[in-house]
Structure 1
Amino acid sequence: MKLDSKFFDSIRVSSRRQQGAKKEPRANGCQWKGCDKPGSHKAPKGRGRDGEYFHFCMDHVRQYNHEYNYFDGMSDAEVNNFRKDALTGHRPTWKAGANAWAHGTRDGVRTAEAAERVAASTQKMTRRARSSRTEAPTFRRQLKPLERKALHTLDLGEQATREDIKSRFKELVKMHHPDANGGDSRSEEKLREILQAYNHLKQSGLA
């Protein structure tokens, strides 16, 4: 085999240094006005120019990113709509098993009538959620025997609320106070039981 053959030259592998030199891209200059540093960092050009970038140096790409605002020029309503659409990848949505025509949309554009239906449905769901929160039943732990006895002393059932207990306690204190019963000993004894019952319920966290 001849080392100086033209066929040998055509398949000769280039050196690593030459390969590295070919792969290294030539850095563009910084596009910041008045800057002559290499622009080795990319920055997006903004809304409506997706896929296009400026080339800045490190200092100016930081400044650009700090001042960058994708929503510049958009109203608050447009920004809110953009954020809502971003949840679905900016694609139109409709119920499973129905096409775009069934919901008043065509070519990905929702008509005003369909938008009104969606808004009404959303408001209805919101009202239901609020109603369910306000009407949610309150669950109480199982009462202990002394707690049941204390409620019974106040003539209350096991489902009595904190407000029920306080209100009933005030009524019974006025009713059995010695000043209202001429110093009757039976009223004093009953009042003592009421105070003990209320204090026990208060210590238990029920009153």
Structure 2
Amino acid sequence: MKLDSKYFDKIRVRPDRQAAEKVRAPVCCWEGCDEPGVHKAPRGRDHEGQYLHFCVDHVRLYNKSYNYFSGLGDDDIQKYLKDSLTGHRPTWTMGSNSSGAMPSTKPSGRPRRWNGRARDSFGLFGEGEAAPPAAPRKPRTLEAKAMETLGVPVNAGGETIRLRYKALVKQYHPDANGGDRGSEDRLREVIQAYKLLKQSGFC
């Protein structure tokens, strides 16, 4: 092998990386500059993925004056910002599917049923009539016993149960009886009955 061989230089001598980058780097895109353009800067809107190459001084000047929205009006800028919330992907209105939007009311003005199950009982999705309120459910054995413990009728509403519970707690609490703990068992029964009714959805 000859001593001046290009292979010998690559093997024996560490290559000068800066010199190699200067050879490979394009010339600075700034007008009148002959320095190597080792710094990339984006070309701008509608040229995503394309870059200009500048030297360090001119890339600083370019970045200071760079404006992605140059040439766009205020309405176009607002539209771009709004679309960027969804990643510039199309969106559809709620309640529409491949066959088109489903009207929220029947031609008669009554709320529409979907699959025979759902109904707009509060009139949120249309101006039709509201469905009649559901009948109160009949209490089970433990729930009826809890109502009996509180001393309220079986068909009592939630407000009646809450008021009765508060009154009984005040009546049987030891603090209300001068520290007498004789009614603690009765107070425990009242609290357990109220918890059961609350978990069952009666109050």
Classify the TM-score, shorter chain. Answer: 0.3 to 0.5
What is the TM-score when the length of structure 1 is the normalising length? 0.37
What is the TM-score when the length of structure 2 is the normalising length? 0.38
Greater per-residue helix proportion = 1
